[in-house]
Structure 1
Amino acid sequence: SSLSPESDGYNKVLLCDFGLSELVPPSSSAYDNQLTDSCGTRAFAAPELIEIGLGTQLRRAFSAKVDVWALGVVLHAMLSSSFPFSPAGCPFKALSTMRSTLSSPPKEGGGLPALGGASGEARACVLFMLTVDSEQRPTASMGLTHPFLAPPAPPASGEIEEECTGGGPL
């Protein structure tokens, strides 16, 4: 199942199935396995999926890195309550907007104005996942090493003792 940003504010989490998923043979890497059928929801679609859907000659295949893009969209929605790009309208315009927004120098919000209130690490993580060039986009394993997603280091034993005792004797 996958999480959906359409989950409501009443602690209900919407899940969906993987009816449109692709089985990757155990002997291959999901990042080496090139897929060619474009499907899914445009709001979560990586640029290469839009290119395939348009039937352009720009792209003929894609890898599991489209899932990293989709996770970047979900993270953006979690941080800002909005999609980074409007799913409505012309796919050519959507592709152009993605490229121009994410290729321009980072400004407040890192090229995504809705993230202006998020921490620098959070913005950097979203931008890391929303890398337009799929060759440069991180794999899921690489994404998990980003400081925003990596688990914090455990505190040193002295820090724990001070926190528990308020700095005074036990």
Structure 2
Amino acid sequence: MVQVIESEETLFIISEYVRGGDLLDHLVKHGQLTEEEARGRFQQLISALQYRHRRGVMHRDLKPENVLLDPAGSAKLADFGFCSLVPGGPLSTFCGIPGYMAPEVMQLQPYAGPPADVWSLGVLLHAMLAGSLPFSGEEFHAMQRSMLLGAYSPPRLVWRQCARLLRGLLTLDPEKRKTLEEVMGDPWVNWARRG
């Protein structure tokens, strides 16, 4: 965000122009990412989300369309239309899209913003690596049943550390789900090619 201009009737949010398109377009055009590509973009998303959370801003609509890519391939978090500015306390707004929505949001339960965003971050990582959503169903209720069974399977051929991270992000119980701080310290996130 570059600037905010507010009048009596309108709020204008001026943001940076990112001309590389969004992550969804990239996935449709080029297919899933390699682990190395996904890791770099994932690190950028974790950093952006952690920055927002520290300021009491919960995104609540993480999805590939809201991840913009600059020409160099760097990821930038966008579209804060569903964000919550309420620091602490449970949230109750049903928002986001079902494929990326945390189970507690989908079940219309009061929820904490950070774990809900972490769930969506896990779905994003799965989508980057597999080119598809982790829980399937042709309609909302079928997808919800699939998710609530908790039978998550990481994409084939990902490193064991990546599969462990994905399971930690896509844990049904928000109290047991990884925190952003834990994600920042995760071995897969911090793996760097040596040599």
Could you tell me the TM-score, scaled by structure 1's length? 0.65
Q: Within 5 Å, which residues of 2 pair with 1:8-157?
A: 8=26, 9=29, 13=69, 16-25=78-87, 32-52=88-108, 59-86=109-136, 88-91=138-141, 93-102=142-151, 111-112=152-153, 115-152=155-192
Task: Please provide the CA RMSD for this pair.
Answer: 2.8
The structure whose residues are more often strand, as a share, is: 2
How far residue 61 of structure 1 moved from its aligned partner, in angstroms, is 3.1
How far residue 24 of structure 1 moved from its aligned partner, in angstroms, is 3.4
Q: AA paired with 2:94?
A: S
Provide the rounded CA distance (Å) in 2 between the counterparts of 1:17 and 1:87. Answer: 26
The structure whose residues are more often helix, as a share, is: 2
Provide the rounded CA distance (Å) in 1 between the counterparts of 2:23 and 2:148. Answer: 23
How far residue 101 of structure 1 moved from its aligned partner, in angstroms, is 4.0
Provide the rounded CA distance (Å) in 1 between the counterparts of 2:99 and 2:22. Answer: 11
Match of 2:110, SS state, is coil
Return 5+ residue gaps in structure 2 as ranges: 2-20, 31-67, 70-75
Higher relative contact order (CA 8 A, sep 6+): 2
1:37-74 superposed Cα distances (whole Å, 9 cap, x missing partner): 1101111101001001xxxxxx2333321110011011
Could you tell me the TM-score, scaled by structure 2's length? 0.58
Return 5+ residue gaps in structure 1 as ranges: 26-31, 53-58, 103-110, 156-162, 164-170
